[in-house]
Chain A
Amino acid sequence: MTRSATPKLAAYGALAGFLLLGALVERRPELAVVSAPFWLVLVLALASVRSATLRVDVEVDRDRVVEGEDVEVAVTVRSDVAVEHAEIYLALPKGLRGTPNPVGFDLRTGEREVPVTVNCVGWGGYAIGDTYVRLRDRYGMFRFEERFEERLPLRVYPREEELRSVLHSAETQVFAGNDVARQKAEGIEFADLRPFAYGDRIRRVNWRASARRQELWVNEFHAERNADVVLFLDTFAEARRADASTLDSVVRAAASLTTAYLLRRDRIGLVSFGGYLRWLLPGSGLVQRYRIVDALLDTEVIENYALKDLDVIPVRTLPPQALVIALTPLLDARAVNALLDLRARGFDLAVVEISPVPFAQVGPSGELDELAHRLWQMTRETLRSHFHRAGVSVVEWKEGVPLAAALGEAESFRRFARHARA
């Protein structure tokens, strides 16, 4: 524990010494009398000062929460001596807010548990527990400070939006799922009629059609199959304000889509394409959900000027006939080129543009800045038209608009769009 004297000690010492010296030089006993209270305080403060041995334990009531929820942190401080006044400060990373923090208390009983409510404002993987303790003596002459290091993991998952419908893949896979496949097989959705063949089950006979045609006809059905979906996260660049960024929206959208697709028994994978490349092979089930969400927590924008294209992505991460949903602010040319390249290779691609426009304010210079802003928006419009010409739906998702609305717009585009090749 680091002990340091406060300026008050020096001031009292100087005053007392000056008065005593003055009393001797001027032969005035009053000055010695005036100095006496300061000597008294100095002697009492110096005689009573004791360095405490502290122990601090930090406990968190849970280590996984959703963005916006609170976590109760209990900081237990133990001291071998009674302390008049102690202050603790729980060092929290950006994205977490503690209340009350710092907090003051007395430690006369030798042990005290201090509750701190931590509000998880932003998603991410955090390590909390670093605590700074400051003690003061009863005369205000000394302070003692010590830092206690502890690293308790706290994972704050992004807030998810409720999605009733998602984008449907153009092609389905071989496993059972919720998507109506083009192939005819066992299923619920009616597909066609055909003449009865030996081996057909009686329950498939369409009696109305058979009566009309005077021979047996049976119903055919579309199979219910699952789909492979790959979330393509553009982490090359982000637009940021003090409290929010396009990356936050990317992660929230990815988490929401992951949950929605896994509920439909689809396989879902992840490619984080940016300063460094990270991927998760498509999979299904609860484990895959946690894998993806945990991977999302480590997502960050890292500046990188290296030229990157699709060749750096492992082949197995982009299975054939997979639906690729790109979540991108469309700010970096490398990501844009990679997406157009994906489309050119025949992947079923949909782009959800996390709009950076609300994050970019017009500069203060007036007309010139306004012109530049308009030009920038027109350039973005041109970029979107490139994707549209390639048969890729691009929908703009802005703050305050439900993700479901953007997905609905994309789905209607995909339903009526002509298939084209970039």
Chain B
Amino acid sequence: MAAAGTAVAVALAAYPAVSSAHTSLAVIGALGVILALVGALTGSALPLGAGLGALVVEYAVAAGLEGSGLDTRADVWGAGLLLAAELLFLAGELRTSVLEGGDLIARRLGTIALLVAGSVVLGAVLLSAAELRPGGGLALQLVGVAAVGGVLALVLSLARR
């Protein structure tokens, strides 16, 4: 499980480093992969989260270096990041789980597959919306901020239940 997650993380780290051809980004990506692997193997969430964060930083910096062009593979990269995160967290979780008598792995892998598929679809929809470019302006920015606020409010209300 950890190996599969690490393989996906390596692919994710390689994509921004190769596309932008910056060595420093490769270093950040490598650091992220190592941290994530250590977290998965030790069952510790802190290095795992930090590793995933490093991958995100690498991608964000690479996207900033790209200029004004939109990365059309962002949906796949996002789904890949979720896949890596799920596999690595599952590897850590299995260290403290009792598997005897249960089929936890099979059911969790099924859930992960559905989530990744849903993520690709959701990312594609969002990416299509981002490509529309209606001209910008204050109204659109307000709509964006409202959308962010709405998502946060939804998560907070669900968390309070």
By beta carbon, the residue of chain A nearest B75 is A33
B74 and A46 contact, CB distance less than 8 A: no
B130 and A106 contact, CB distance less than 8 A: no
Chain B residues within 8 Å of A103, by CB? 98, 100-101
Q: Which of B45, B100, B119 touches A11 (beta carbons < 8 Å)?
A: B45
A32 and B126 contact, CB distance less than 8 A: yes
Say yes or no for A95: interface residue by CB 8 A criterion: no
By beta carbon, the residue of chain B nearest A49 is B161
Interface size on B, residues (CB 8 A): 53
Cβ proximity bits B32-56 to A, threshold 8 Å, 1 near / 0 not: 0000000000000110110011001
A46 to B118, CA, bound (A): 17
B98 and A102 contact, CB distance less than 8 A: yes
Taking the closest CB of chain B, its distance from the CB of A342, in whole angstroms, is: 55
A8 and B45 contact, CB distance less than 8 A: yes
A33 and B123 contact, CB distance less than 8 A: yes
Say yes or no for B134: interface residue by CB 8 A criterion: no
Chain A residues within 8 Å of B90, by CB? 140
Interface size class of A (residues with CB under 8 A): 35 or more
Q: Which of A14, A105, A136 touches B53 (beta carbons < 8 Å)?
A: A14
B151 and A40 contact, CB distance less than 8 A: no
A106 and B102 contact, CB distance less than 8 A: yes
A26 and B104 contact, CB distance less than 8 A: no
A11 and B158 contact, CB distance less than 8 A: no
A33 and B148 contact, CB distance less than 8 A: no
B81 and A10 contact, CB distance less than 8 A: no
Q: Which of B45, B93, B97, B151 touches A10 (beta carbons < 8 Å)?
A: B45
Assess A24 versus B148: contact at CB under 8 Å? Given A37-B78, A138-B111.
yes
Cβ proximity bits B19-41 to A, threshold 8 Å, 1 near / 0 not: 00000000000000000000000
A44 to B111, CA, bound (A): 11
Assess A87 versus B97: contact at CB under 8 Å? Given A18-B53, A41-B82.
yes
Assess A85 versus B148: contact at CB under 8 Å? Given A30-B63, A40-B118.
no
Chain A residues within 8 Å of B145, by CB? 24
A100 to B161, CA, bound (A): 36
Say yes or no for B14: interface residue by CB 8 A criterion: no
17 more A-B residue pairs beyond the given contacts A30-B59, A33-B78, A105-B102, with a C-beta to C-beta distance below 8 A: A10-B49, A19-B60, A30-B63, A30-B71, A30-B130, A32-B126, A33-B127, A37-B122, A42-B155, A43-B155, A43-B158, A44-B115, A85-B102, A86-B102, A104-B97, A104-B98, A140-B89
7 closest cross-chain pairs (CB), A and B: A7-B45, A46-B158, A37-B119, A29-B130, A104-B102, A11-B49, A104-B98
Chain B residues with CB under 8 Å of chain A are 45-46, 48-49, 52-53, 56, 59-60, 63-64, 70-71, 74-75, 77-79, 81-82, 85, 89-90, 93, 97-104, 107-108, 111, 115-116, 118-119, 122-123, 126-127, 130, 144-145, 148, 151, 154-155, 158-159, 161
Chain A residues with CB under 8 Å of chain B are 6-8, 10-15, 18-20, 22, 24, 26, 28-44, 46-47, 49, 84-87, 100, 102-106, 114, 136, 138-140
